[in-house]
């Protein structure tokens, strides 16, 4: 038995001198076991997995390159199309503005201290004839604005998001109050919180 280990050790020493990396592993017999009777460790092969990963990466690159080529070659407008579009005569839009009088309301604060909001608004209308119609509805519009603005808190007016919410709500309320007429947009000329 000791002779078997000595032969094996001598064999391992001679293989290590050759520098062969595969020679360091134990040799298997035909039954799948090594000479000592234990099962030899299996070599892990990454060749198949690496080929799948490389193939997937190549496929992604090809699809990305194809999409980029499509957008650069076919999706951009041609210079002749751009020249035709710019050759169309420009018609100025029919827009009229109606300036409302300043609105000053007290607004809520977290600590109950008095705070005031001064608002100067201009309304964008479709035609100049609508100015007279909006003028007739002005007491109703101011009432709608007053009711909404008095419920605001200072935090509701902070930042551009607060200003956009304010404009959207004022536009919705004015279109309800001036029902047959339609206001395109509410433009803030001045907004002061004190």
Which pLDDT band holds residue 109 (cuts at 50, 70, 90)? confident
CATH code of the domain containing 120: 3.30.479.30
Listed residues 87, 110, 145: the one ending a domain: 87
| pTM of the entire predicted model | 0.53
189 and 102 housed in the same domain: yes
125 and 73 housed in the same domain: no
Question: Does 30 score more than 90 pLDDT?
Answer: no
188 and 103 housed in the same domain: yes
Best CA proximity match to 166, nearest among 177, 178, 155: 155
Question: Does 192 score more than 50 pLDDT?
Answer: yes
145 and 74 housed in the same domain: no
Which pLDDT band holds residue 173 (cuts at 50, 70, 90)? very high
Listed residues 87, 118, 138: the one ending a domain: 87
Give the tens place of pLDDT for each residue, 72-101: 777 766 666 666 666 666 777 788 999 999
The length of the chain in residues reads 194
116 and 66 housed in the same domain: no
Per-residue pLDDT, 65: 87
59 domain-assigned: yes
Which pLDDT band holds residue 24 (cuts at 50, 70, 90)? very low
CA dihedral sign of residues 182, 184, 190, 192? positive
Which segments of 100-141 are extended strands (E)? 103-107, 115-125
């Amino acid at each position: 038995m000791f002779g078997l280990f000595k032969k094996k050790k001598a064999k391992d020493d001679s293989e290590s001198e050759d520098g062969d990396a595969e020679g360091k592993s134990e040799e298997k017999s035909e039954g799948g076991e090594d000479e000592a009777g234990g099962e030899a460790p299996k070599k892990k092969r990454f060749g198949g997995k690496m080929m799948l990963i490389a193939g997937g990466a190549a496929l992604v690159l090809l699809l990305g390159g194809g999409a980029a080529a499509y957008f650069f070659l076919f999706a951009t407008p041609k210079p002749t199309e751009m020249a035709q579009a710019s050759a169309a005569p420009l018609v100025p839009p029919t827009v009229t503005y109606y300036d409302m009088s300043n609105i000053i309301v007290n607004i809520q604060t977290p600590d109950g201290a008095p705070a005031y909001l001064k608002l100067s608004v201009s309304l964008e209308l479709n035609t100049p004839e609508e100015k007279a119609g909006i003028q007739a509805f002005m007491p109703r519009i101011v009432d709608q604005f007053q009711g909404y603005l008095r419920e605001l808190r200072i935090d509701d007016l902070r930042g551009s998001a607060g200003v956009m919410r304010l404009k959207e709500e004022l536009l919705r309320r004015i279109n309800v109050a001036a029902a047959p007429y339609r206001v395109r947009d509410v433009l803030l000329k001045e907004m002061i919180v004190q």
